[in-house]
Structure 1
Amino acid sequence: MDRHTQLYRLYEEFDTGTIRARRDFVDLFPPVDSRVALAYWRDASDRLERDRAEVRQTFPETGEAFATIATLATRDQAFTALDLLGKHGRALNVLVLDVDETLRSAGKTDNEIPRQTLHLLTEFYEAGVPIVVCTGQTLENVKGFLNQGLGNELVHSGELSVVYEAGNGVFTPGHGADTKQLLYERLDEDVRNVFDYVRSHVLADAPERIRHGCHLQGNEFNVTLKPNFETGSDRAGKIIDEALRYQVDLLGEAVAAERDLDGPATEWARKHYAAADPEIQLVLDRLDSLPAGNVDIPDTAQSLFDVIDVAYYEADAAEIGSLELNKVAGVEAALDVLGVTDPFGLVMGDSKSDLRVMRWVHDHDSGIAAAPNHASTDVLAHVQETDDLVFDRGAADDTLRMAYALNELAALNP
């Protein structure tokens, strides 16, 4: 009997919805000081084990895997896993996960990673699948919620790595001298000089409205202005638009100073970054700040603009980073430390920085991509064109359940 027929039979003959609910209750049951609640948990645990035993008995050759799949995955998730296994022919051997608006969502999960998602990550860890958390956040922010949500044992197991500030640093506890890698130290001196200039002037020289309406995120390298207003609000949108223009202009000044150039440095920067990113062009146009007439950018300035990125996140952040150090560079460094030499990973994210990783694994046949349904247009287009793994806001666990089922199926003999 082939795998497709067996899966069909599993979901026809067993009430897998009840089995999944029972496992979720057993796994996520909070510690309480109540004999009644504990007795209820024990009863559910016993019932769950009987469910698993019945599945194992029904499917002698595939029973253990099918018992696990029945407790975790819906019918659609299991058949998606089977289709992906048929397409790619491989199990997943690493998870590459964005955090904000992917694992957690301010609009659906109160900006907390749901307990079921955290528990699934521990399941992957126990199954020997390393985890790369790939985020634009600072290292200290990430370390805090990882320790709290996943526990010190997992975080310091040597099987988890954090790519932070969108690829400027990699933190992999338990790996001695390779535990923390400051990738930005590898950049050319002139690039680092530009960032030093921008960082030292960005708030000190900012117009009063920006100085009072924004704060500087505590990055080690990237220069990120965040609004002092609620993210996504009209006030945040207006101040981040102004902050973006200000940062572009300041970057122009920094490049001119580094190259010892005279000329309309802010016009050079506005022209370059408007041409590089349609969103930035729209913001500068909205602020009536696009360069007028022909603007010739000197080659020596252009060479620096070409390796420095300006990122715009509407009503959320305006950021200057390195194009030489992005999430791809960080993930490659993390995989090297983790010893994943032939990666086939699940990449989950929502923004254009995640898209770079998604394209990288696709181009190298090194993984699959998934995104929430509110991800950026380009991310959604890529995901839909590849394996169409789109999940609802705040429901990253749906894709993780499918991924776990994929690995269970891949472990079976053909």
Structure 2
Amino acid sequence: MTLYDRLYELYAEFDTETLRAYREFVDLFPPLDSRVALDSWDDANAELADRRERIERAFGDGGDTLAEVASIADRESSFTALDLHGKYGRAPNALVLDVDETLRSAGDTDNEIPRVTLHLLTEFAERGVPLVICTGQTLENVKGFLIQGLGNELVHSGDVSVVYEAGAGVFTPGSGADTKRLLYDDLADDVRGVVDDVREGVLREAPERVRRGCHLQGNEFNVTLKPNYETGSDDAEAVIDEAMVHLLDLVGDAVGERVDVDDGPAAARAYYADADPEIAGALDRAGADAPEDVPAAAGRLLDRLEVALYRADAAELAAADLHKAAGVEASLDVLGVDDPFVCMMGDSKSDLRVMEWAEETDSGVAAAPEHSSGRVLEHVRSTDDLVFAPGDAAAVLRTMYAWRCLAELNGNSIPQM
């Protein structure tokens, strides 16, 4: 009997929906000091074990793995996993995970990572699958919610790495001298100089509305202006548009000083408006001119600087060489994943760079929430169509988990670290 046939029989002959309900109850049962509650957990755990045992007996060799698959993933997820294994011939040996609007979604989950998602991440970690948290947030923010959600022991196990500030640094607790890699240390002096100059003046020299309506995110390297209004609101959009104009002018001044260009701000506006329609839109909404000409000398330095607009959310300056894909490669190196095949989950253009790297190097698959940016959705739908609902990253994690189990059952070795 083929693995496809066994999987078909599993979901046709057994009540896997009830099995998964018992598994979720047992796994996510909150710690309660109640005899009645503990008795309920004991009863559910016994029923779970009994239902799993029936599957194991029915399928003989490999039955334990099929029971594990059925207790985690529904029929659609399991067959998707089997199709992915047939396509790639290997299963993911690391997870690369964006946080905001991917693992958690402000609209659906009160901006918290759902418990079921956190639990699935611990299941992967217990099976030896490294976790790379890949975010634009500061290191301190990420460390805080990781320890709270995953536990201090797991975060410091040596199997969890954090790419923070969208690639400026990599933090891998428990890795000795490699625990923290500051990737911005390797940048050229002129690039670092521009970023340092902009940081120094970004609030001090800001127009009053920007100075009062924005705050500077506490980054180690990147310069990120965030609104003092609710993200997505009209007030946030207006102040971030104006902050983008101010940021571009500061970048232009700093670049102009280094390459001897008279009107650096005009060069910066022209360069980034041409490169990014969203920035052009912000300049237009703010009533700022965007000239067309970029002096060649300024263009060469601006090529190495990245300015990004997150509409009604942030205006940011970073180095072009510091991006999530470079950070992920550094993380995987520290984690010792020599032949990576990752599942990259993200929603923004910074995540797209990792997805494209994975595709170009045959190093993994991509997944995204359905509210992702257009280019991200286009990439994900054109590859394996692993699109999930907002706040439901667990759906893809279940598919990845089933994929690893079925790869073992199929007799193919899962790539080792």
- The verdict on a shared fold, with TM-score over 0.5 as the criterion, is yes
Q: Distance in 1 between matches of 2:298 and 2:158?
A: 42
Q: Distance in 2 between matches of 1:403 and 1:21?
A: 19
Counterpart of 2:87 in structure 1 is: 87
Counterpart of 2:288 in structure 1 is: 289
Counterpart of 1:196 in structure 2 is: 196
What's the secondary structure of 1:269's corresponding residue?
helix
Post-superposition offset of 1:58: 1.1
Provide Cα deviations, 1:202-224, integer angstroms capped at 9, x if missing partner: 00000000000000000000000
Q: Contact 2:3 / 2:410 at 8 angstroms: preserved in 1?
A: no
Counterpart of 2:159 in structure 1 is: 159
AA matched with 1:142: V
Counterpart of 2:415 in structure 1 is: none
1:318 pairs with 299, 315, 320, which one? 315
2:328 pairs with 328, 331, 356, which one? 331
Q: Contact 2:120 / 2:394 at 8 angstroms: preserved in 1?
A: yes
Q: Contact 1:193 / 1:258 at 8 angstroms: preserved in 2?
A: no
Q: Distance in 1 between matches of 2:274 and 2:408?
A: 48
Counterpart of 1:214 in structure 2 is: 214
Please say if 1:300 is aligned against 2:280: no
Provide Cα deviations, 1:333-368, integer angstroms capped at 9, x if missing partner: 101100001000000000000000000000011100
Counterpart of 1:104 in structure 2 is: 104
Counterpart of 1:345 in structure 2 is: 342
TM-score (norm 2): 0.97
AA matched with 2:92: L
Counterpart of 1:78 in structure 2 is: 78
Q: Distance in 1 between matches of 2:289 and 2:85?
A: 49
Q: Distance in 1 between matches of 2:383 and 2:64?
A: 31
Q: Distance in 2 between matches of 1:358 and 1:49?
A: 39
Q: Contact 2:280 / 2:290 at 8 angstroms: preserved in 1?
A: no
Kindly report which structure 2 residues correspond to 1:177-192, keeping only aligned pairs within 5 A, or say none.
Answer: 177-192=177-192
TM-score (norm 1): 0.98
Gaps of 5+ in 2: 412-417
AA matched with 2:74: T
Post-superposition offset of 1:302: 1.3
Counterpart of 1:60 in structure 2 is: 60
RMSD (Å), alpha carbons = 0.9
Q: Contact 1:214 / 1:227 at 8 angstroms: preserved in 2?
A: yes
1:409 pairs with 388, 402, 406, which one? 406
Please say if 1:275 is aligned against 2:274: yes
Counterpart of 1:362 in structure 2 is: 359
Gaps of 5+ in 1: none
Counterpart of 2:414 in structure 1 is: none
Post-superposition offset of 1:298: 2.7
Counterpart of 2:48 in structure 1 is: 48
Counterpart of 1:232 in structure 2 is: 232
AA matched with 1:365: D
Q: Distance in 2 between matches of 1:85 and 1:290?
A: 52
Q: Distance in 2 between matches of 1:256 and 1:363?
A: 36
AA matched with 2:263: P
Post-superposition offset of 1:300: 2.4
Q: Distance in 1 between matches of 2:200 and 2:410?
A: 60
Provide Cα deviations, 1:284-335, integer angstroms capped at 9, x if missing partner: 223332434x52x333211110010001101110100111010011001101
Q: Contact 1:281 / 1:290 at 8 angstroms: preserved in 2?
A: no
What's the secondary structure of 2:316's corresponding residue?
strand
Counterpart of 2:262 in structure 1 is: 263
AA matched with 2:364: G
Please say if 1:147 is aligned against 2:144: no
Counterpart of 1:385 in structure 2 is: 382
Q: Contact 1:169 / 1:330 at 8 angstroms: preserved in 2?
A: yes
What's the secondary structure of 1:224's corresponding residue?
strand
Q: Contact 2:273 / 2:290 at 8 angstroms: preserved in 1?
A: no
Post-superposition offset of 1:278: 1.4
Q: Which is further off, 384-393 or 13-22?
A: 13-22
AA matched with 1:268: A
Q: Distance in 2 between matches of 1:262 and 1:49?
A: 73
Post-superposition offset of 1:262: 4.1
Q: Distance in 2 between matches of 1:72 and 1:156?
A: 26
Alignment: residue pair count = 411
AA matched with 1:140: E
Q: Distance in 2 between matches of 1:404 and 1:28?
A: 17
Q: Which is further off, 393-402 or 278-287?
A: 278-287
Provide Cα deviations, 1:376-400, integer angstroms capped at 9, x if missing partner: 0000000000000000000000000
